[in-house]
């Protein structure tokens, strides 16, 4: 069993896709262990995406991520990190495979519906970022 962090991003929350996306997680044996609807401040979004500081899209990305409610969740399952990334599809929905969450619900490379941790270490950091000291279900 492995844990990963996903975020249903502000674009997908605003478009009413929380249920559609959770349905995909649940039908793929990814169990929700924690969930929290948050309205991130710009500073909190910058802290979460600190690895991207200095990149051309950093300011725009962190403004977007703090533009409205988002839903971080801890998901658990076999090979959860890699399987979530596969279910999400490519960062740019134009390159995402049919049936992936980003192909279905993302607008563009920035407003791309979901986040998923990309490795064990980033999953640990990201889970602690949103769920510090919480006993997961």
Which span (19-27, 28-36, 69-77, 105-113) binds ligand ATP, by CB under 6 A? Answer: 105-113
Taking only Cα atoms into account, the Rg of the chain, rounded to an integer number of angstroms, comes to: 14
Nearer to ligand ATP, 98 or 135 (CB): 98
17 assigned to active site: no
CB 120 within 8 A of CB 13: no
Residues 60-99, mask of contacts with ligand ATP (x by CB under 6 A): -x-----------------------------x--------
Q: Which does 112 bind (CB under 5 to 8 A by kind): ligand ATP, Mg ion, none?
A: ligand ATP
Give, in degrees to the nearest 5, the angle at Cα 88 between 82 and 94.
Answer: 130
Q: Nearer Cβ to ligand ATP, position 58 or 133?
A: 58
Site for ligand ATP in 20-59 (CB under 6 A): 52, 57
CA pair distance 84, 25, nearest whole angstrom:
8
109 near ligand ATP, rule: CB under 6 A? yes
Angle between helical axes of 80-88 and 18-26 (0-180°, round to 10):
130
Query: What distance in Å separates the CA atoms of residue 131 and residue 128, rounded to the nearest whole number?
Result: 5
Residues with catalytic annotation?
115
């Amino acid at each position: 069993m492995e844990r990963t962090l996903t975020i249903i991003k502000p674009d997908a929350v605003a478009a009413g896709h929380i249920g559609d996306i959770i349905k995909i997680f649940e039908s793929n044996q990814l169990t929700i262990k924690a969930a929290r609807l948050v309205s991130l401040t710009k500073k909190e979004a910058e802290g979460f995406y600190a690895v991207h500081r200095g990149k051309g899209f950093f300011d725009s990305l962190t403004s977007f991520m703090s533009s409205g409610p988002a839903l971080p969740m801890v998901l658990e399952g076999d090979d959860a990190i890699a399987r979530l990334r596969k279910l999400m599809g490519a960062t740019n929905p134009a390159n995402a495979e049919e049936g992936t969450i980003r192909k279905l619900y993302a607008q563009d490379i920035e407003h791309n519906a979901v986040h998923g941790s990309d490795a064990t270490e980033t999953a640990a950091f990201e889970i602690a970022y949103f769920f510090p000291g919480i006993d997961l279900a």
